[in-house]
Amino acid sequence: MATNTQTSSPSIEVVILAAGKGTRMRSKLPKVLHPLAGKPLLQHVLDTASELNPKGLHVVVGHQAERVQETIGSSVNWAEQLEQLGTGHAVQQAMPGVDDDSVVLVLYGDVPMVSLNTLERCVASAAAGHLGLVTADFDDPAQLGRIIRNGAGAIQEIVEFKDANPEQVAIKEINSGIMALNGGVLTRLLSQVKTDNAQGEYYLTDVIALAVANNIEVQGLKAERPEEVTGVNDRLQLAELERVYQMDRAKELMQVGVTLADPSRIDVRGSVEAGQDCFIDANVIFVGDVVLGSGVQIASGCVITDSVLGDNVQVHANTLVEGAQVAAECSLGPFARIRPGSDLATGVKIGNFVELKKSKLGAGSKASHLTYIGDATIGADCNIGAGTVTCNYDGINKHQTQIGDRVFVGTNSTLVAPVEINQDAFVAAGSTITSNVPDETLAVGRGKQRNIPGWVRPDRRKTKS
């Protein structure tokens, strides 16, 4: 009786080249650490490659290797290229840690926008016994390596710009540098690469012609769009890719029902999950993981960081929200600062020039203007008057302010923590509260006023000539 056997897919090993200095960036920061959408270029590549569930992630470093390693951390295997002898030499530095039976995928730390779909196609080509090579058509290929095909359309080799003749320079199809191949075969081909070229370097691209000579089919895989394989060599290219990246995020938001006042003026430096019928005005920045309910309105100049905003929340102009949980129907700002640990129940109103830190406000409570609330728990339906300050810090420790439901705190009050103001209490304007206030009690903590009759305003002092 015949039996069905399943051949398991080979494991994937990813090698990312990140050793270059990036001279054209004109920066003390290694090129691969320059941020795109708030995240290092190299981290973008690592995050996409990680979605392939590889057996190993190998990063080849050189210039400022320690700084790159400190920034990225210990989640990858590091290999160091002590001498800059070319891309082929760089890949060789990682190969001792790579399984010969695996598919090796070669990526670049300064090519941050390659898609998972493209990488999957490249790996699948290598798993089928080919050399998978990602190419793209550029209107202006500039100094990128050109793809050379034969009369039948098969890829024969890659010619670097400096080694290309005029006919080859006219070719629009370029080599992205991204390729996948069996690990053992790649090791063998790399050992045959020579330095007989204009730069005297070991070109990884020479592996293509060597593969053809060894009867290994080179399968060209077109990238979905040129930006996907565009590298960053200077700050102009970085800025151009930033806009491409942000427009992609803007399109994703509009496709799920968000209205953007100007899609070209929104920055997403993390992820945004949004419900329907949200409106986001110009120059809004999202950082980290942000969740917006339905009907959220965010005015211009706001920065929302690692926060959840419930349905129909309104964030008025120039308000900062960080690390906060904001329930439905709340109103924030303008010019408010909601700091980490803030938890606002339904219908809370935080007005202009109000700062919250690590505080909880109950449903319907409001602090409409010019107030600092820190390390406080405030009940429902409270009114915190203008100029109120919770004095939570004694110079060494932070202390709590506890306020019950339906408390009214008058203008310009100072609440010296630790202190409790119980439900239905009333704090008179201008009071300094240093002890607990019972339920349904009026607290007055003012200095006694004196009126001095017959007071004469002093004359302005005469200045000596």
In the chain, domain spans: 12-229, 252-443
Contact call for residues 77 and 54 (beta carbons, < 8 A): no
Q: How confident is the model at residue 375 (pLDDT cuts 50, 70, 90)?
A: very high
Q: How far apart are CA 282 and CA 298, in angstroms?
A: 9
- Please, which residues have CB within 8 angstroms of residue 230's CB and are 6 or more apart in sequence? 111, 113, 237, 240, 241
Is residue 418 pLDDT above 60, yes or no?
Answer: yes
pTM: 0.90
The pLDDT tens digits for 303-340 are: 999 999 999 999 999 999 999 999 999 999 999 999 99
Q: What is the pLDDT of residue 158?
A: 87
Q: How confident is the model at residue 199 (pLDDT cuts 50, 70, 90)?
A: confident
Active site positions, annotated = 369
**What whole-number percentage of the chain has pLDDT above 90?**
85
User: Of 144-158, 221-235, 327-341, 397-411, which range is least confident?
Assistant: 144-158
Backbone angles phi, psi at 324, to 5 degrees: -120, 155
Is residue 4 pLDDT above 90, yes or no?
Answer: no
The pLDDT tens digits for 377-388 are: 999 999 999 999
Q: What is the pLDDT of residue 21?
A: 87
Query: CA 372, 356, 349, 301 torsion: positive or negative?
Result: positive
Q: How confident is the model at residue 458 (pLDDT cuts 50, 70, 90)?
A: confident
CA torsion angle 245 247 250 252 (round to 10): -70
Q: How confident is the model at residue 162 (pLDDT cuts 50, 70, 90)?
A: confident
Token couple for 280: 């986001």
Q: What is the pLDDT of residue 7?
A: 54
Q: What is the pLDDT of residue 455?
A: 87
208: number of Cβ within 10 Å? 26
Is residue 155 pLDDT above 80, yes or no?
Answer: yes
Residue 275 carries which side chain, given as an amino acid letter? Answer: G
The domain 252-443 having CATH identifier 2.160.10.10: the answer here is yes
Q: How confident is the model at residue 3 (pLDDT cuts 50, 70, 90)?
A: very low
Tokens 């003390």 appear where?
A: 28
Q: Rounded to the nearest 10 degrees, what angle do helices 206-213 and 183-190 cross at?
A: 110
Q: How far apart are CA 155 and CA 212, in angstroms?
A: 8
Is residue 6 pLDDT above 80, yes or no?
Answer: no
Is residue 157 pLDDT above 60, yes or no?
Answer: yes
Q: What is the pLDDT of residue 462?
A: 58
Is residue 425 pLDDT above 50, yes or no?
Answer: yes
Q: How confident is the model at residue 5 (pLDDT cuts 50, 70, 90)?
A: very low
Across 139-225, the runs of DSSP E, i.e. the strands, are 146-149, 155-159, 173-182, 218-222
Is residue 402 pLDDT above 50, yes or no?
Answer: yes
The pLDDT tens digits for 227-277 are: 999 999 999 999 999 999 999 999 999 999 999 999 999 999 999 999 999
**More confident call, 9 vs 173:** 173
Superfamily of domain 12-229: Spore Coat Polysaccharide Biosynthesis Protein SpsA; Chain A (3.90.550.10)
Is residue 351 pLDDT above 70, yes or no?
Answer: yes
Token couple for 350: 């935080």
Q: What is the pLDDT of residue 465?
A: 53
The predicted model gives 397-416 an average pLDDT of 98
The Cα-based distances of 447 to 208, 210, 420, 453 in angstroms read 87, 91, 21, 19
The pLDDT tens digits for 99-138 are: 999 999 999 999 999 999 999 999 999 999 999 999 999 9
Average pLDDT value for the chain: 94
